[in-house]
Amino acid sequence: MANIIDGKSIAFSIRMRIKDEAEKIKMEKGIRPKLVVILVGEESASQIYVRNKERACAEVGILSEVLRIPASIKEKEIVKRIKDLNKDNNVHGILVQIPLPKHLSEINILNEIDPGKDVDGLHPLNMGKLLKGEAGTFIPCTAAGIMELILSTGIELAGKQAVVVGRSNIVGKPTAILLLQKHATVTICHSRTVDLGEATRRADVLVAAVGSPAIIKEEMVKEGVIVIDVGMNRLGEKLVGDVDYELVKNKASFITPVPGGVGPMTIAMLLKNTLLAAR
């Protein structure tokens, strides 16, 4: 039976350290770290995520502001708002809540954010620095949180087989890079992978981030695997992950629950990046 990796508890510890650091910056330099979130449209999941970010900022002494923009806005108008925020010295972090309405280009809009305020870590300059392993860069929040959860188990990653299921720019790719930096041997799988189970059964560490309910079955993992479930899939009133949790936990040595695993860590890493930006 697996040990449950308590993302809520780990995230709470990180938030308390951030709270202390935010207070120190305020006392020493007179700076209150500030995050501005740009929310376009009325998408319900995005509304919930943004409210959670606002609450988390308030808890640790980070100022937050949400720019709520109608879904009909033109791309050039959002770009102008971002350029104004780039120039505002009282704003340290800028986050554009995605997904955006289909008529807007995520790439074009994210590329307009000042790399020094890009607390989501999605600007090409920050992604490039991550790829090169440069210290002090902004790491995409979910990927950074995943690594904290993995390292909390005490595993020595060097030489281990790590399998990442999912290749998004937000989770899959940056997580694979971070695992490589810890000298794991990394396999990335995705929707076109032939015989997914053949790859996942080799994993000492398995990160499931594909957005498909319970796609990882018990027979697809080996005994003692560490499982990080990034999936957030709604089935009726229930929230489930990408892993068949009840059965896979019988074989895993460590596993994250859904909810209460990766989710709280994503917000904790956003706060950490905002503090880094303020510094």
152 and 81 in a common domain = no
* In a domain? residue 50: yes
| Count of domains forming the chain | 2
Q: Are residues 107 and 182 in the same domain?
A: no
Residues of the chain with pLDDT > 70: what percent?
100
Average pLDDT over residues 133-159: 96
Q: Are residues 107 and 149 in the same domain?
A: no
Catalytic residue chosen out of the listed positions 120, 204, 229, 244: 120
47 among known catalytic residues: no
Does 202 lie in the same domain as 165?
yes
For residue 24, pLDDT over 90 is answered with yes
Q: Please report the pLDDT score of residue 277 as a whole number.
A: 97
Q: Check whether residue 242 and residue 148 sit in a common domain.
A: yes
Q: pLDDT tens across 213-263, in order?
A: 999 999 999 999 999 999 999 888 889 999 999 999 999 999 999 999 999
Three-class DSSP labels, the chain: CCEECCHHHHHHHHHHHHHHHHHHHHHHHCCCCEEEEEEECCCHHHHHHHHHHHHHHHHHCCEEEEEEECCCCCHHHHHHHHHHHHHCCCCCEEEECCCCCCCCCHHHHHCCCCHHHECCCCCHHHHHHHHHCCCCCCCCHHHHHHHHHHHCCCCCCCCCEEEEECCCCCCHHHHHHHHHHCCCEEEEECCCCCCHHHHHCCCCEEEECCCCCCCECHHHCCCCCEEEECCCEEECCEEECCECHHHHCCCCCEECCCCCCHHHHHHHHHHHHHHHHHC
53 annotated active-site: yes
Catalytic residue among 34, 97, 229, 249: 97
Residue range of the domain that includes 188: 141-263
Q: What is the pTM of this model?
A: 0.96
Q: Which amino acid is at 76?
A: K
Whether residue 181 lies in the annotated active site:
no
Q: What is the pLDDT of residues 167-225, one digit of tens each?
A: 999 999 999 999 999 999 999 999 899 999 999 999 999 999 999 999 999 999 999 99
Predicted confidence (pLDDT) at residue 46 exceeds the cutoff of 90: no
